[in-house]
Amino acid sequence: MFAALSPALVSGCSASIDGTGKANPSDLAAHQAEVRQQHIHDVTVKACQDFRDGRIQVIRALNDFVDAYNTEHGYDGPTAGPKLTTALETIDKWTGTVGRDLVPEVKPEIKTVLEAWRKAAGEVGDSLKRKDEADALNPKGDALNKAADAAQEACAPY
């Protein structure tokens, strides 16, 4: 079943390489700094991309719910109820996803605006769970829009 492996013999090499096998400390420091900067950039890009994706999904789910709420004049209509559930699940999913992206290396100015968006989305979700009336819910929706706009602007370079 298994063939026996035989040792291979390397022949014909007559040159060797000079050196110590140790990195130049200044080259190593520069390389480490470059790798760290790339990592900071990469985790920031991921957080911003997930925010952008999540923002779209949250807006769609909220708008679908609001349309059903307005049509059915309340939270508990045959369409509004399921759309409320979908909106809450979407908020939870995307605020969680973005939250997990906010590792310590994410640029602080991005982390700040994404945390503000997560907080505002969570407050909308809490208001929906309580089935608040429009006069209580609308200011939270406005705050969510402002937080999303700020995050969108801050994430534009990423």
Per-residue pLDDT tens over the stretch 111-138? 999 999 999 999 999 999 999 999 999 9
CA–CA gap between residue 91 and residue 94 (Å, rounded): 5
- Encoded tokens for 144: 């969510």
CA–CA gap between residue 55 and residue 76 (Å, rounded): 25
| CATH code of domain 30-155 | 1.20.120
What residue spans define the domains of the chain? 30-155
DSSP state of 77: S
CA–CA gap between residue 155 and residue 44 (Å, rounded): 8
Per-residue pLDDT tens over the stretch 72-111? 999 999 999 999 999 999 999 999 999 999 999 999 999 9
The count of residues in the chain is 158
> Quick check: 98 and 118 in contact, CB under 8 A?
yes
